[in-house]
C-alpha cells in the first residue's frame, strides 16, 4: 500500500511517500522536510500568515521532490494523506486542499489525518510496536499521556494544565536570548551547564494523577534570571541545565503515574512510547530509558528526525487508516483544534451514504450525501483488515456485526 503524506500544520513544509507492506512493515521511499526557520527567525517564533504563504510557495516542489525520490508517479499511489489538524489553520488548509486535489484528479482515497495521531503511530512505522502502548506525546502544543489501544482508539490519561513542554522550552529559549527554535538550543546550552545551580520547582511531583503543569517552572526560571541579570554565557547554560533537569524529573514522575493508571485500566502495556518534538531531547530519552527499565516495560522512541514534524508519519497514519478500510470525503474540514481522543469518534446522525470504494470512485460526490456529518469523520473505504477498534467500527451497523473482533483485538499484522 503506497501513500503520499503531506504535513503543513506548523513551520515545516513536508511530503513523504511510504509503503506499508501486507505484514505491517513499512518502507519510507522519500521523506522531504523543508523548514521555514529562516522565515520566522527574525520574529522569535512562528508567524501564522508567513507560515501559510511559505507553504503555498513550497508545497508543490516539495511534493514533486518526494515523488521523484520515491521513483513513483501519482497513479501508483493507493491513497493521499494530509494533516488536517490540529495546527495553524492557514497551513492546514494549504496541505489539505493540495491533498484533496491530488486525490480528486488521480481518483485516490483521501485520508485527513490528525497530526497527533500521526505522532502517536510513528513508532509502528519504525518498529511495528503492537497495541496497546502507553504514549508520552510532547510537542510544541501538546503534552499528554495516552493509552493507544488501536488505530483511532486513544484514551487520554493525563495532560498539561497550562503550557506544553515544547512551549516551555521555546519560552525559556526566548527569555534567555537563545532565539527560535528553542528546544534544541536549550538542550545544547544545558549540555555545558550546571543542573544543580538553580533550585527550580518540579510542579505536580508525587500527585496521583498523570497531569503536567509548566507555568510555575517557567515563572521561577524568569525570576532566577532576573535576580542575576545581566546574564553571562555560563549563567545561561546553568539556567538551561537547571530547567531541563526539572523537566526531566517531572516527566519521569508523571509517566510513572501514567503507567500505573494504564495498568489499572488496561493491563500491561506492550511498550512505553515517546513521540513529538520534545522526544528528540537526549536527556529526556535517557531518563525514559531508566524509567522503562525500572518499570519493566520496553521503551520505543522513533529517531529524532521522526519525532519532530515530518510527512512520513502522516503518510503512515494514512496507510494505517486505509488498511482499516478508513478514508475521508472531500468535504473533510481543516481543524485548528482536534483532540486526539476525538479521532475516529463518529458523530451521531444519519448514516453516511454508500461505501467509498478503495479506488476512490465515489470520492467526489459525497458532500451532498452526508447529512449532518461533519467533515473529517472516517468512512468505510472497502475491505477491512481483520483488526478494527471500538471507535473505528461503523456505528450504524447492527450490534454483533463487528467482524467478530473487540476493541482489544491485536491486529494480525503485529500479533
Ligand atoms: O512535534 P513538533 O516538531 O511540532 C509540533 O507539533 O509542535 O514539536 C516541536 C516542539 C518545539 O516546541 C521544540 O522546541 C520542541 O518540540 N523540541 C525540543 C527539542 N527538539 C524540538 N524540545 C526539547 N529538546 C529538543 N531537542
Ligand atoms: Zn508535531
Mean pLDDT by 10 residues, the chain (415 residues): 98 98 97 95 92 98 98 98 98 98 98 98 97 97 97 97 97 95 96 98 96 97 98 98 98 98 98 97 98 98 96 98 96 96 57 35 28 43 37 27 26 25
The answer as to whether 400 is a domain residue is no
Ligand 1, pocket-test mutation among 278, 282, 302, 338, most atoms within 8 A of CB: 278
The answer as to whether 244 is a domain residue is yes
What pLDDT sits at residue 344?
A: 72
φ/ψ of 378, rounded to 5, equals: -70, 150
Question: Ligand 1 atom 18: the closest Cα is on which residue?
Answer: 183
Question: Ligand 1 atom 10: the closest Cα is on which residue?
Answer: 140
Distance CA 64, CA 201 (A): 48
Distance CA 179, CA 82 (A): 30
Residue 115 sits in the same domain as residue 228: no
Rg value, the chain, Cα: 21
What pLDDT sits at residue 181?
A: 85
Cα-based distances in Å from 122 to 31, 196, 315 = 13, 35, 10
As given in the structure block, the three cell numbers for residue 246 are: 526539572
Residues 113, 366 contacting (CB under 8 angstroms):
no
Residue 216 sits in the same domain as residue 257: yes
Number of domains into which the chain is organized: 2
Neighbours of 281 (CB within 10 A): 27
The SS3 assignment for 363 reads helix
Cβ of 85 less than 6 Å from ligand 1: no
Residue 263 sits in the same domain as residue 321: no
Q: From the CA of 152, how far away is ligand 2's center (Å)?
A: 17
Q: Ligand 1 atom closest to Cα of 119? A: 1
Distance CA 321, CA 82 (A): 12
Residues 63, 98 contacting (CB under 8 angstroms):
yes
Pick the last residue of a domain from 261, 283, 304. 304
Cβ of 139 less than 6 Å from ligand 1: yes
Residues 171, 215 contacting (CB under 8 angstroms):
no
What pLDDT sits at residue 378?
A: 58
The answer as to whether 12 is a domain residue is yes
As given in the structure block, the three cell numbers for residue 101 are: 486535489
The answer as to whether 300 is a domain residue is yes
The answer as to whether 414 is a domain residue is no
Residue 276 sits in the same domain as residue 322: no
Selection from 399, 348, 411, 337 nearest residue 377 by Cα: 348
As given in the structure block, the three cell numbers for residue 329 are: 470525503
Q: What is the CATH number of the domain that holds 56?
A: 3.30.420.40
φ/ψ of 2, rounded to 5, equals: -110, 125
Residue 292 sits in the same domain as residue 343: no
Residue 48 sits in the same domain as residue 65: yes
The SS3 assignment for 16 reads strand
Q: Ligand 1 atom closest to Cα of 276? A: 1
Q: From the CA of 10, how far away is ligand 1's center (Å)?
A: 11
Pick the last residue of a domain from 304, 324, 344. 304
Whether the predicted model's global pTM rises above the 0.75 cut: yes
As given in the structure block, the three cell numbers for residue 380 are: 468505510
DSSP string computed for 273-315: EEESGGGG-HHHHHHHHHHHHHTT--EE---HHHHSS-SHHHH
Helices (H) and strands (E) in the chain, counts: 11, 12
List the alpha helices (DSSP H) in 42-106.
48-70, 89-106
Cβ of 278 less than 6 Å from ligand 1: yes
The answer as to whether 30 is a domain residue is yes
Structural domain of 42: 2-121+308-380
Residue 74 sits in the same domain as residue 153: no
Cβ of 166 less than 6 Å from ligand 1: yes
Distance CA 313, CA 378 (A): 18
The answer as to whether 392 is a domain residue is no
The answer as to whether 385 is a domain residue is no
Q: From the CA of 116, how far away is ligand 2's center (Å)?
A: 7
Residue 107 sits in the same domain as residue 146: no
Distance CA 284, CA 60 (A): 36
What pLDDT sits at residue 44?
A: 86
Residue 252 sits in the same domain as residue 158: yes
Distance CA 11, CA 329 (A): 26
Question: Ligand 1 atom 6: the closest Cα is on which residue?
Answer: 139
What pLDDT sits at residue 207?
A: 97
Residue 282 sits in the same domain as residue 327: no
Selection from 119, 136, 142, 150 nearest residue 257 by Cα: 136
Distance CA 261, CA 355 (A): 38
Residue 63 sits in the same domain as residue 186: no
Cβ of 169 less than 6 Å from ligand 1: yes
Cβ of 187 less than 6 Å from ligand 1: yes
Distance CA 295, CA 400 (A): 38
Residue 329 sits in the same domain as residue 360: yes
Pick the last residue of a domain from 259, 275, 304. 304
Amino acid at each position: 500500500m503506497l501513500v503520499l503524506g503531506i504535513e503543513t500544520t506548523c513551520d515545516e513544509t513536508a511530503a513523504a511517500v511510504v509503503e506499508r507492506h501486507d505484514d505491517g512493515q513499512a518502507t519510507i521511499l522519500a521523506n522531504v522536510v523543508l523548514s521555514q526557520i529562516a522565515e520566522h527567525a527574525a520574529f522569535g517564533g512562528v508567524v501564522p500568515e508567513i507560515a501559510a504563504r511559505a507553504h503555498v510557495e513550497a508545497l508543490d516542489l516539495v511534493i514533486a521532490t518526494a515523488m521523484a525520490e520515491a521513483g513513483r508517479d501519482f497513479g501508483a499511489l493507493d491513497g493521499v494523506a494530509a494533516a488536517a489538524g490540529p495546527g495553524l489553520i492557514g497551513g492546514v488548509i494549504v496541505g489539505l486542499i493540495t491533498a484533496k486535489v491530488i486525490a480528486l484528479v488521480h481518483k485516490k482515497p483521501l485520508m485527513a489525518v490528525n497530526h497527533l495521531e500521526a505522532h502517536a503511530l510513528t513508532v509502528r512505522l519504525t518498529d511495528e510496536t503492537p497495541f496497546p502502548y502507553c504514549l508520552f506525546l510532547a510537542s510544541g502544543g501538546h503534552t499528554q499521556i495516552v493509552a493507544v489501544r488501536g488505530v483511532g482508539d486513544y484514551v487520554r490519561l493525563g495532560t498539561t494544565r497550562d503550557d506544553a513542554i515544547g512551549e516551555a522550552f521555546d519560552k525559556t529559549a526566548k527569555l534567555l536570548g537563545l532565539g527560535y527554535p528553542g528546544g534544541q538550543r536549550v538542550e545544547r546550552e544545558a549540555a555545558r551547564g550546571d543542573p544543580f545551580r538553580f533550585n527550580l520547582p518540579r510542579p505536580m511531583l508525587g500527585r496521583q494523577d498523570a497531569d503536567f503543569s509548566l507555568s510555575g517552572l517557567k515563572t521561577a526560571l524568569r525570576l532566577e534570571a532576573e535576580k542575576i541579570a545581566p546574564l553571562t554565557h555560563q549563567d545561561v547554560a546553568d539556567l538551561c541545565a537547571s530547567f531541563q533537569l526539572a523537566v526531566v524529573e517531572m516527566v519521569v514522575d508523571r509517566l510513572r503515574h501514567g503507567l500505573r493508571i494504564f495498568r489499572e485500566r488496561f493491563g500491561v502495556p506492550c511498550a512505553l512510547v515517546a513521540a513529538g518534538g520534545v522526544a528528540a531531547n537526549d536527556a529526556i530519552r535517557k531518563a525514559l530509558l531508566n524509567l522503562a527499565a525500572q518499570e519493566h516495560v520496553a521503551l520505543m522512541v522513533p529517531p529524532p528526525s521522526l519525532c519532530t514534524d515530518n510527512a512520513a508519519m502522516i503518510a503512515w497514519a494514512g496507510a494505517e487508516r486505509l488498511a482499516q478500510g478508513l478514508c475521508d470525503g472531500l468535504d473533510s474540514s481543516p481543524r485548528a483544534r482536534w483532540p486526539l481522543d476525538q479521532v475516529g469518534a463518529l458523530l451521531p446522525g444519519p448514516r453516511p451514504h454508500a461505501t467509498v470504494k478503495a479506488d476512490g470512485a465515489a470520492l467526489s460526490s459525497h458532500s451532498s450525501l452526508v447529512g449532518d456529518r461533519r467533515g473529517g469523520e472516517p468512512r468505510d473505504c472497502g475491505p477491512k483488515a481483520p483488526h478494527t477498534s471500538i471507535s473505528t467500527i461503523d456505528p450504524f451497523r447492527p450490534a454483533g456485526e463487528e467482524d467478530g473482533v473487540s476493541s482489544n483485538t491485536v491486529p494480525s499484522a503485529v500479533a
